[in-house]
Amino acid sequence: MDFFEAQAHAKKRTSRLVALFALAVAGTILAGYFAAVFALRQTSGYRANRIYGGYEISSVTRPPPALWQPELFLGVTFATLSVIGLASLYKWNEFSAGGSAVAESVGGRRVDPHTTDTAERRLLNVVEEMAIASGVPVPAVYLLPDEPAINAFAAGLTTSDAVVAVTRGTMEKLTRDELQGVVGHEFSHILNGDMRLNMRLTAIVFGILVLGLAGRGILWTLSRGRISSRDSKGSGGLILAIGAIGLALLIVGYVGYFFGRLIQAAVSRQREFLADASAVQFTRNPGGLTGALKKIGGYALGSSLQSTKAGAIGHFFFASGFTSMFGGAWATHPPLGERIRAIDPQFDGQMFDPPEVVDVAHESFVTAGLAPARKPLPLDLTPRVSRPLAAIASIGTLTPDQISNATTLLGSTPARLRTATRTPAEATVLLYGLLLDDAPAIRAKQRGLVASRAGADALRTLDELDPSLRALRTEHKLPLLQLALPALRSLPRTALDPFFDTLDELVHADERVSTFEFLLQKLLLRTLAVGRAPDAAVVQIYSFNAVAAEIAVVLSALARAANNADLNAADAFAAGAFASSAFAAGAAQIKLIADRIGFLDASACDLVALDAALDKLATASLPIKQRTLLACAHVVGADGQILIAEAELLRAISAALDCPMPPLTAAA
């Protein structure tokens, strides 16, 4: 299942869930209505005693209300939907800050990128490797320090605000292979669109639960209240009515909550099997994931969580954090044995046997997190990459080769530059350094811009980084940008505008914009913007016709950038003809609008026009994005190969459309 198919499945699951939860809400409304009718029938009709001719006659002075009352039904419906809707919106608003808000709500703390703790450093390394391999922005890493059990979760609305959180037990009790299996499982949730679905589940279930909580609050207040005999004569009926309302709300709310949790748990269990399979596929090491599951089954605490606040997001976690009061019906995760057997059919049921003594002094170099357990495959750094269609197919995927290549990339990156990615001050200077030109005159001009715009301290840091920057290879630049993103997200808004302005001046110091410079700016602006307001990343366009002009700009810009490299610049006619042919190869992949888009002049598809086109396409649906990227691959592959410059622009387009493309290598 590729990235676009997985996202489509997530969207279908969301639609089905909305329908199922709509039924649960409808049931809640009906239960509330019949409770209201029952209460009215108990209080509206009453008997009175009258004396006629010396005889006492008992009669009903008012008939009981009818079973069907449209006005009452509309009133109950409006009140129920209002309560559920407002409560769900409240919870969704809490989550709109992104994954960090979820992690912090359950006691998580951000792992310091400069940490010297061996276990924390190992955790960061594993997450960074997975992010670089998959092409997503490096997620912030959180630790739940008060949780000794083994568990983890991923949260966020988009890949730009995603976080990976692990418990202290996960970090301390698992080997590197096992930790990689758990992190791979969580990256599956990131890439498959499960995070946003989890957020929606939590918000809707909370909305239904609020009715029950309101009823429980009313009953608790009445049970704690004191009524004097003087007041009881006049207010007894009122108190009885309030108590009845509270009891009705409690029953109605918890009935809806019960069925909501059933739906939530059933969907969660199926997604966990998929995430397990994906993690094994990512790492090609089933023993890592099964080892983690066996340790959960072997340790006394297992995956149990201490924080009561984590109950609301129990379906986020790697393994079940709580014992279900309704057995398997409410279980958010399949039984451990089933999960292990799905990976290893030969599993004999024997879980991990915890040692009584752990000799940490003799832990190996590998398990200490200072090196991967398996030797990574050699990274092919040839300047050409074949099979551009495979690059599109790799979007949103993780393979062992990609992880090995990411490990090699990170291992061969100068240590001083990796250190610079971990603090906002040095990360900004590092990005300035990535834009420095090789020409001495232009480089001197850029250094002057850094000094005047960012200050003398920034220039001194730049000079310190300069030897490593001069030795930097092209393939290291984008991973450094990905590593710097978590630190850059913490920059205050007042510091972002000067930072972006300085970057823009550095880019235009030589009066031209390279593909890497465009990629850097586009990826940075898009990721930070979505990371700060993840809920703003909504789909608004579902028709190819609505973005035909923008697709023409993208394909034309890519055709001109992709095919001028191998041709004599003086032969403008031949260059234009070849670019036109490449454009036609791409346009043919979008048959719905192929007759409506044409190859544009260079002035109509420059980087300014491309930037605006990508901003609009970012709001398009996934099928439009997928077909556009497929067309782009045919454009750059028209000559049978893809150059580094072409790959950079292709990744810039992919990043602008929020489609994570892994680093392009010969193995891609």
Local structure of 538: helix, strand or coil: coil
**Joined tokens for residue 439:** 């020409």
Local structure of 109: helix, strand or coil: strand
| Catalytic residue of the set 120, 147, 186, 550 | 186
In sequence order, which residues have a C-beta less than 8 Å from that of residue 231 and are 6 or more positions away? none
AA identity, residue 584: A
Local structure of 164: helix, strand or coil: strand
Looking at residue 535, what DSSP letter applies? G
Strand partners, 124: none
Distance in angstroms (rounded) separating the CA atoms of residues 164 and 183: 8
Put residue 110 in one of left, alpha, beta given phi > 0 → left and psi -120 to 50 → alpha. Answer: beta
Q: Sheet containing 109-110: which strands, arranged edge to edge?
A: 109-110, 140-144, 163-167, 152-155
Q: Give the H/E segment covering residue 156.
A: none
Question: For 77, what's the count of Cα atoms within 13 Å in the CB-facing half-sphere?
Answer: 8
Please report where in the chains the tokens 């009175």 appear, as a residue. 48
Question: Is 186 part of the annotated catalytic residue set?
Answer: yes
Local structure of 589: helix, strand or coil: coil
**Joined tokens for residue 205:** 């279930």
Q: How far is CA 521 from CA 178, 434, 439, 514, 663, in A?
A: 36, 12, 21, 11, 18
Distance in angstroms (rounded) separating the CA atoms of residues 289 and 279: 7
Which residues are identified as catalytic?
A: 186
